[in-house]
Structure formats: C-alpha cells, structure tokens
Amino acid sequence: MVSECRVAGPTGEVGGLFTVAADPIATLVFGHGAGADMRHATMQSIAEAFAAVGISSLRFNFPFKETGKFRVDSKDVSTGTIKAAFEFATEHYEGPYCLGGHSFGGRMTSHAVLDHRLDVAALIFCAFPLHPAGKPSVERARHMDAIETPMLFLSGDRDKLAERRLMTQVTGRLGATLRWLDTGDHGYRILKRSRVREDDIFAEMAGYARQFVLKNVCP
C-alpha cells in the first residue's frame, strides 16, 4: 500500500510517498537521483521490492524536481530536505529507521547524516556515484570516513560511475558492506543473456538489503 504525504523542507513543502511492508522490519527514507523524481519507475521498483522483503520506505522529492527544474539543488538544500524527510518519518512511521538513496540521493545522504548528525540505524546506497563517468576517483567518498553507521552499497557490476577496484577499495576502508548486482549498470539495466541470476535485479537488491538490515539493525 502506498500513501501520499507532504514534507516541510528548507525551501517549502515537497511531496512524499510511503510504501508500507506487510510485516515491516525497518523503514527506509530514500532520495531519488539527479535525473529522476520520487515517482520514477526505478524508485517505484525499489520501493516495491523492498516492501516485499519487509522494508517500508518513504520516497520524497528534492525541491528542484518538486518545482520542475533540471538543475540539482545546492548541497545545503539537499541535505536539509533529507533531514526534513527523516524527521517526518520518525514522527509518522515505525522504526528502526534507515536512510539512503539512489545515485545523487545517496551521495547527498552521506553528507546529510554528518552535517545534521542524524541518528540513523543504517545507510543504504543504491548506485552510489563514486566518480563521474570516465574519471575514476575516490574524492566523493573522502568525508565518509567520519560515518560510524553501518553502510550497505548496492552497485551494478557494469556501473561506469563506480569503478570496481575503487569501489572495493573505498568500502573496504569504510568497513562497509558491498554487494555487486549481476550485470547491472548505473540505471539498473541488465544484460539478460549473460546475467547468471534468474531473479529480477530489484529483487536481488532487496534480498541483500534484508540480509543487511537483519544483521546490522535488528539482529
């Protein structure tokens, strides 16, 4: 079941969508990527797959998408919106509470948890954009050394924004959990003929997320 809500962010209200799991083990507050919004098919697929394994989720719009703009919001506005969505979730839905996002949403979440000292049980990053395509680097993850919260990275093994060697290096340094998604790219497109797993990529992600939550949030 999905219900709509309004979240009071730093620049005004933004929309939210809460997808409740039948037998929830946690609630995930989840931000969208730079080229999507909370209603994008990818966001919906993630929410539905996670709900199927017991993880409820609150999707929300960043202000730039709420107002129909294409340029992403500043870091301060983005992290402030994440803070507002997280606080809304703690006031209206059952915990424990996890925080995360897809691509840009995940990157901003990694800043928000530090900048606003958010008390979250765990962080879940889907297609974390470690670097721009064709420009391998780990600079975008430098600040994450200060995060003490358990972290899960779900990364497609064909993601051009997360070079495998560097992503493995970063997550190892952080003590984070890294799961590679079979033949997935940054947008979760797969290679059907060479994919070894028979399940849907979103079901694959959800299975990893449930294992992580059960181990690190509610063992």
Look at residues 47, 73, 76 and name the one whose alpha carbon lies nearest to residue 62.
73
Those residues whose C-beta lies under 8 Å from the C-beta of residue 163, and which sit 6 or more positions away, are 130, 131, 136
Give the pLDDT confidence score for residue 123 in this predicted structure. 98
Token pair in block for residue 159:
């993601």
Strands ordered across the beta sheet of 122-126: 2-9, 12-19, 55-60, 26-31, 97-102, 122-126, 151-156, 177-181
Residue 100 CA to residue 67 CA, distance in Å, equals 22
Look at residues 9, 32, 24, 42 and name the one whose alpha carbon lies nearest to residue 210.
24
Residue 96: is the preceding peptide bond cis (ω within 30°)? yes
Residue 159 CA to residue 6 CA, distance in Å, equals 33
Give the pLDDT confidence score for residue 219 in this predicted structure. 67
Look at residues 88, 5, 11, 22 and name the one whose alpha carbon lies nearest to residue 56.
22
For residues 15 and 4, the answer to whether their CB atoms sit within 8 Å is: yes
Residue 65 CA to residue 72 CA, distance in Å, equals 8
Q: What is the pLDDT along the chain (219 residues), one digit of tens a residue?
A: 899 999 999 999 999 999 999 999 999 999 999 999 999 999 999 999 999 999 999 999 999 999 999 899 999 999 999 999 999 999 999 999 999 999 999 999 999 999 999 999 999 999 999 999 999 999 999 999 999 999 999 999 999 999 999 999 999 999 999 999 999 999 999 998 899 998 899 999 999 999 999 999 986
Residue 50 CA to residue 73 CA, distance in Å, equals 27
Residue 112's H or E segment, with its range, is helix 104-115
Look at residues 66, 53, 108, 104 and name the one whose alpha carbon lies nearest to residue 86.
108
Query: Which residue do the tokens 């909370």 mark?
Result: 38
